[in-house]
Structure 1
Amino acid sequence: MQKKSKKTSAIAQHKSLSIQFSLDGFSFCISNSKTKEVILFTEYTFSSSIASPELLLEEIIRVFDTDKDLQQDFTSVFAIHQNNLATLVPNKLFDRNSLASYLKYTVKTLKTDFITYDLHDIIAANTVYIPYVNINNYLFQNFGEFEYKHHSTVLINKLLIYSKENSENQFFVHVSSNYIDIVVCKEGNLIFYNSFPYTTKEDFIYYILFTAEQLQMDPNTFQLTFIGDIEKESDLYSITYTYVRNIHFMNPVNSFFTDDEEFSNHSNFILIA
């Protein structure tokens, strides 16, 4: 497990904690509760994907036991579950008593799975998903009441706000180690969202081009914006540039990572934007 961290000299009496976890890693951000100024960001990357939520919890417990930054009092705690065990359901088709039915065609579910949903702030839709209940239980034992959401809920809402003034279709690709989220929006309206697994660079570009084709967007003209775990020197970027002519990286409003050697400015948009 590899650790990277950035800390400012700011001091706050009241602090809030935001954490994001997946089978590939664990990140957390500590902010001033009143000013929202970021004080600390830390990222743990696992050497390989964790095989199960149970093993993920073991890694998280190990982090909490050894990282002193997590061993303090917080005024609020917000957790982000990052997985592809989710789907987006419009309000007019949504019934909170039928959550399992929305996942059965795209996610392998068990009768014992706890399924919940996030109500979106901006669009008339809900994210239906399976959270890591064991990790929620652990966090509750540590902090008491806390808020949690699926990563796609946070990503979509932030991108809709980010793009609300733009009259052109905005094609965003959020890159993780084993899957990508594609979000297309225009003037604060969601046009498309989906998550795709990939193992090769060919898988990666296939889903981008397939989405563009379905939306009748010309790869020679539309602008693609990368967010997350991707750099210009990577094979993923190179193969994308072979087929998509206009590519740039997200430039978040928050300047916490500006000119940082450890983290790219676009790398942690979901947790810090």
Structure 2
Amino acid sequence: MTIKVKQLQKKSKKNSAFAQHKSLSIQFSLDGFSFCISNSETKEILLFTEYTFSSSIASPELLLDKIIRVFDTDKDLQQDFTSVFAIHQNNLATLVPNKLFDRNNLAPYLKYDVKTLKTDFITYDLHTIIAANTVYIPYVNINNYLFQNFGEFEYKHHSTVLIDKLLNYSENDSEEQFFVHVSPSHLDIVVCKEGKLLFYNSFSYNTKEDFIYYVLFTAEQLQMDPNSFQLTFIGDIEKESDIYSITYTYIRNIHFMNPINSFFTDSEDFSNHSNFILIA
């Protein structure tokens, strides 16, 4: 399987690459693997690298094989880090309000949406802004590999990071904000207002018709008029894509997220609205 590599280093601050203390943030899914290295003290981004697979990996076991190959060949990952943070991106998760949450009995929360096995390890993330938890199945084999390489590290589900960042981003907006985070094989929809979460869900899609169906279905359920509300795209999508075109057919007010971090400004390989979960 061919691996396409995109690597970008912030040209205006090359001397930052010599930072003595560095942090590593990793995001992985069955579609790809990316990582960010930053200065532990100043939080300045030093390096971002993205590996995208030509097609989705069939299993977490095969994904681990790819990740091991990356770690064995990418010298930027072969150094000491003061901290490591991993983000599991998959659709093996659900959001549970605190009022209904029992941390000692996690399996029932997933049984209606996710096919689980008795041997699955299920965990949860506590949200920092809303009174809810993300219950999910992490890629345990990858966690074990990272532990072997780095020792103790922190990890979360991608939806936890996405929701909390978007709530912070939109806390001063008095209008409802309809965000769509795009990945190669699934989309996350987050609707919020003044820092409060109104809706979240994740959908798998194979075609552009699947994609627009979930967007319009969500808008209908929330009684949001496609002719009036603003949709903000984040992630792996560009204006020239088929997904953007079909969305614009039904929703007229479409925007790309304005970057919080200017790291990708002037980049030919990455858009400012991409990689919001890992860099924001």
Same fold (TM over 0.5): yes
Which residue pairs with 1:16 in the alignment?
A: 23
Which residue pairs with 1:7 in the alignment?
A: 9
Which residue pairs with 1:29 in the alignment?
A: 36
The answer to whether structure 1 residue 175 and structure 2 residue 177 are counterparts is no
Aligned partners of 1:188, 1:258: CA distance in 2, in Å? 27
Deviation at 1:136, TM superposition (A): 0.2
The answer to whether structure 1 residue 202 and structure 2 residue 209 are counterparts is yes
Q: Tell me which of 225, 229, 248 is aligned to 2:236.
A: 229
Aligned partners of 1:50, 1:227: CA distance in 2, in Å? 23
Deviation at 1:97, TM superposition (A): 1.4
Aligned partners of 2:33, 2:185: CA distance in 1, in Å? 15
Deviation at 1:98, TM superposition (A): 1.4
Which residue pairs with 1:119 in the alignment?
A: 126
| Equivalent AA in structure 1 for residue 170 of structure 2 | S
Query: For each residue in 1:194-249, what CA deviation from the matched residue of structure 2 results, as whole angstroms up to 9, or x when unmatched?
Result: 00011011100000000000000000000000000100000000000000010000
> Which secondary structure does the structure 1 equivalent of 2:129 belong to?
coil
Deviation at 1:192, TM superposition (A): 0.1
Which residue pairs with 1:266 in the alignment?
A: 273
Aligned partners of 2:98, 2:123: CA distance in 1, in Å? 15
Aligned partners of 2:258, 2:148: CA distance in 1, in Å? 37
Q: Tell me which of 185, 195, 211 is aligned to 2:192.
A: 185
Question: 1:76-87 counterparts in 2 under 5 A?
Answer: 76-87=83-94
The answer to whether structure 1 residue 144 and structure 2 residue 146 are counterparts is no
Which residue pairs with 1:60 in the alignment?
A: 67
> Which secondary structure does the structure 2 equivalent of 1:34 belong to?
coil
Q: Tell me which of 244, 257, 261 is aligned to 2:251.
A: 244
Q: Percent identity?
A: 85
Deviation at 1:145, TM superposition (A): 0.2
Aligned partners of 1:131, 1:230: CA distance in 2, in Å? 26
Deviation at 1:18, TM superposition (A): 0.1
Which residue pairs with 2:106 in the alignment?
A: 99
> Which secondary structure does the structure 2 equivalent of 1:236 belong to?
helix
Query: For each residue in 1:172-202, what CA deviation from the matched residue of structure 2 results, as whole angstroms up to 9, or x when unmatched?
Result: 0000011100000000000000000110111
Deviation at 1:88, TM superposition (A): 0.1
| Equivalent AA in structure 2 for residue 5 of structure 1 | Q
Which residue pairs with 1:71 in the alignment?
A: 78
Aligned partners of 1:209, 1:46: CA distance in 2, in Å? 29
Per the normalisation by structure 1, the TM-score is 0.99
Aligned partners of 1:245, 1:45: CA distance in 2, in Å? 30
Per the normalisation by structure 2, the TM-score is 0.97
Aligned partners of 1:207, 1:46: CA distance in 2, in Å? 25
Query: For each residue in 1:44-64, what CA deviation from the matched residue of structure 2 results, as whole angstroms up to 9, or x when unmatched?
Result: 001111000000000000000
> Which secondary structure does the structure 1 equivalent of 2:105 belong to?
helix
| Equivalent AA in structure 1 for residue 44 of structure 2 | E
| Equivalent AA in structure 2 for residue 3 of structure 1 | V
Aligned partners of 1:244, 1:98: CA distance in 2, in Å? 41
Unaligned runs of 5+ in 1: none
Deviation at 1:5, TM superposition (A): 0.5
Aligned partners of 2:182, 2:106: CA distance in 1, in Å? 27
> Which secondary structure does the structure 1 equivalent of 2:141 belong to?
helix
Aligned partners of 2:165, 2:265: CA distance in 1, in Å? 19
Deviation at 1:156, TM superposition (A): 0.2
Which residue pairs with 1:254 in the alignment?
A: 261
Query: For each residue in 1:132-180, what CA deviation from the matched residue of structure 2 results, as whole angstroms up to 9, or x when unmatched?
Result: 0000000000000000000000000000000000000000000001110
Matched residue pairs, number? Answer: 273
| Equivalent AA in structure 2 for residue 132 of structure 1 | Y
CA-atom RMSD in angstroms: 0.5
